[in-house]
């Protein structure tokens, strides 16, 4: 790493460590509350130290805002100089930061690989703390039986004496996959009951069987596209005494490797892993994947107080001309508040009213803000407020002209130089009549931004040419993996 960037890299890891401390502190508050209620002794607590390996989905330098870098493929926006200029803002409300690939590898030590690489323990294996004083006599001891997250539900059913439901609301249920861990609570040396477990993600495959593990990596998170052939992936073999998967003995024991590969195939067939498919780009396009689109056509009606709508459940306005028409009732003047908003302070758009005047605010990843304000106040009564965005065309992420209309009369116009090409957010949404989450515009806060009138409905219409076809396969792949 460049010497001048090392303070930034250290800061990124300090922020992540601070987040872990923050999460641990508030988990402690929950435990303290159970203790005050005098129910902690007979409450079973599972504390899983992570949902998978550390994330290696950033760059070698990390990022200040992962939305342009990870989802939209605009890595050129965050140069080492830019990251250095933001060192004091990492971890604050203006940052959506992510640590770099190197830290992900370090955090997965002593295992190989990271999140997404489900073949190796670095992408899957975590410690589990089980706390139940009334049911577990041991204190602070270490158990070594192999289990999987799918074993937690069977364990809770056994502990509570609740039978596994065969039907729910008249619908027959598939059997729960997993085995109870209850047997091990009193017997630290008991033979494990979860003897076999397959793993697969993005065709990274692995199998555990009675201490042995056979694995093959198909693609790492930092690789832009997977290899063209699955049958070229090289399988590795690790013995029961090699829990770090550090000594590959595939060439020394080909018979065991062949047996485990066959076992993986049987498990994959049983649990609907087959057919293997690493076409994440195509699988994320409904028309190619062969599934219905959630929002077909070129128009969508949204009604007042609808909210927390993901991008997949709303029509996409990116890379094309479009209009937003809002049917409003203004009961008192001056009216204020959000009519419709999508995204967050890290990227998105908002249509709102400030001091009675309509405003369209476009937030380009928190880097550039574009404001179009109307020159008329919305009077009392029933009105239509309309935004028309005329896209420049010529590719993705281009600019355009935004115009505001009240009851068909233009009241404002302005230019937006750059737009978000692929995705506004991983976790923020579209809201009608308010902006939940972090606000798109600094003109209002995260609370108290509800529209003071009535939003009856908002209609989104797509117009003109669609330039989404210009999004490359590599860009779609990176976006889809960021949403994983």
Residues 6 or more apart from 294 whose CB is under 8 A from it? 286, 312, 313
Residue 466 confidence (pLDDT): 73
CA 387/CA 398 separation, integer angstroms: 18
pLDDT reading at 290 higher than 90? no
By percentage, how much of the chain surpasses pLDDT 70?
95
CA 22/CA 270 separation, integer angstroms: 41
CB 310 within 8 Å of CB 354: no
CA 239/CA 246 separation, integer angstroms: 10
* Fold match between domain 195-278 and domain 299-482: no
130 — pLDDT class (breaks 50, 70, 90): very high
Residue 70 is given by DSSP the state: I
The whole-number average pLDDT for the span 362-381 is: 95
CB 417 within 8 Å of CB 362: no
pLDDT reading at 97 higher than 90? yes
pLDDT reading at 282 higher than 80? no
Q: What is the pTM of this model?
A: 0.84
CA-based nearest residue to 159, from 139, 141, 186: 186
Provide the mean pLDDT of the chain. Answer: 92
The whole-number average pLDDT for the span 328-342 is: 95
Residue 221 confidence (pLDDT): 87
CA angle 67, 278, 62 (to 5 degrees): 30
The whole-number average pLDDT for the span 91-95 is: 92
Which class would CATH give 299-482? Answer: mainly beta
Going by their DSSP bridges, the two strands 45-48 and 381-391 should be labelled as unpaired
CB 363 within 8 Å of CB 348: yes
CB 431 within 8 Å of CB 344: no
pLDDT reading at 291 higher than 90? no
Residue 356 confidence (pLDDT): 96
Predicted confidence (pLDDT) per residue in 431-457, tens digit: 999 999 899 999 999 999 999 999 999
Q: Which helix (H) or strand (E) holds 361?
A: strand 357-364
Residues 6 or more apart from 218 whose CB is under 8 A from it? 119, 202, 203, 204, 205, 226, 227, 230, 233, 278
Residue 299 confidence (pLDDT): 94
Residues 6 or more apart from 200 whose CB is under 8 A from it? 118, 206, 268, 273, 276
pLDDT reading at 66 higher than 70? yes
Residue 286 confidence (pLDDT): 73
- Fold entry, domain 195-278: Arylsulfatase, C-terminal domain (3.30.1120)
349 — pLDDT class (breaks 50, 70, 90): very high
Write the DSSP string, 449-473: -B-SSEEEEEEEEEEEEE-GGGS-H
3-state secondary structure of 183: helix
CA 401/CA 414 separation, integer angstroms: 6
CA angle 201, 207, 208 (to 5 degrees): 130
CA-based nearest residue to 12, from 91, 117, 115: 91
Write the DSSP string, 202-242: TTEEEEEETTEEEEE----TTSSS--S-STTPPPEEE-TT-
Lowest mean pLDDT of 148-152, 267-271, 283-287, 341-345, name the range.
283-287
Predicted confidence (pLDDT) per residue in 253-262, tens digit: 999 999 999 9
pLDDT reading at 480 higher than 70? no
The whole-number average pLDDT for the span 245-270 is: 97
Instruction: Break the chain into its structural domains and give their ranges.
Output: 195-278, 299-482
293 — pLDDT class (breaks 50, 70, 90): confident
The whole-number average pLDDT for the span 353-382 is: 96
Residue 77 confidence (pLDDT): 85
pLDDT reading at 411 higher than 80? yes
Terminal Cα-to-Cα distance of the chain (whole angstroms): 28
């Amino acid at each position: 790493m460049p010497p001048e960037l090392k303070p930034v890299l250290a800061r990124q890891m300090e922020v992540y460590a601070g987040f872990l401390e923050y999460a641990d502190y508030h988990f402690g508050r929950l435990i303290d509350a159970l203790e005050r209620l005098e129910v902690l002794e007979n409450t079973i607590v599972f504390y899983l130290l992570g949902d998978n390996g550390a994330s290696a989905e950033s760059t070698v330098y990390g990022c200040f805002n992962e939305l342009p870098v990870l989802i939209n493929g605009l890595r050129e926006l965050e140069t080492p100089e830019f990251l250095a200029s933001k060192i004091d803002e990492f971890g604050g409300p203006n940052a959506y930061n992510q640590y770099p690939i190197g830290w992900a590898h370090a955090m997965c030590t002593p295992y190989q690989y990271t999140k997404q690489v489900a073949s190796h323990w670095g992408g899957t294996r975590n410690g589990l703390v089980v706390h139940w004083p009334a049911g577990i006599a041991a204190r602070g001891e270490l158990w070594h039986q192999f289990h999987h997250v799918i074993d937690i539900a069977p364990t809770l059913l056994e502990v509570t004496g609740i039978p596994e439901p065969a039907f729910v609301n008249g619908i027959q249920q598939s059997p729960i996959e997993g085995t109870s861990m209850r047997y091990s609570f009193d017997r630290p040396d008991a033979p494990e009951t979860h003897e076999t477990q397959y793993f697969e993600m993005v065709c990274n495959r692995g199998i555990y069987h009675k201490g042995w593990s056979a694995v093959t990596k198909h693609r790492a998170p930092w690789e832009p596209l997977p290899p063209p052939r699955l049958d070229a992936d090289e399988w590795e073999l690790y013995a029961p005494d090699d829990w770090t998967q550090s000594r590959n003995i595939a060439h020394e024991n080909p018979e065991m490797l062949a047996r485990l590969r066959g076992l993986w195939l049987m498990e994959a067939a049983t649990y609907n892993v087959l057919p293997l498919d690493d076409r994440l780009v195509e699988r994320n396009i409904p028309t190619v994947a062969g599934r219905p689109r959630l929002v077909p056509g070129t128009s969508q009606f949204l009604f007042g107080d609808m909210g927390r709508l993901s991008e997949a459940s709303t029509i996409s306005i990116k890379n094309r001309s479009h209009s937003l028409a809002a049917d409003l009732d203004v009961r008192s003047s001056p009216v204020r508040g959000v009519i419709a908003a999508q995204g967050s302070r890290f990227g998105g758009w908002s249509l709102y009213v400030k001091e009675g005047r309509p405003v369209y605010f476009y937030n380009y990843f928190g880097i550039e803000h574009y404001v179009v304000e109307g020159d008329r106040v919305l009077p009392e009564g029933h009105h239509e407020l309309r935004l028309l965005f005329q896209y420049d065309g010529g590719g993705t992420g281009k600019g355009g002209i935004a115009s505001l209309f009240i009851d068909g009369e233009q009241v404002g116009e302005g230019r937006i130089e750059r737009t978000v090409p692929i995705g506004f957010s991983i976790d923020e949404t579209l809201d009608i009549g308010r902006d939940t989450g972090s606000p798109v515009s600094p003109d209002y806060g995260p609370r108290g931004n509800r529209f003071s009138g009535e939003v009856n409905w908002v209609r989104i219409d797509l117009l003109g040419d669609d330039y989404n076809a210009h999004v490359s396969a590599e860009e779609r792949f990176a976006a889809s993996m960021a949403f994983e």
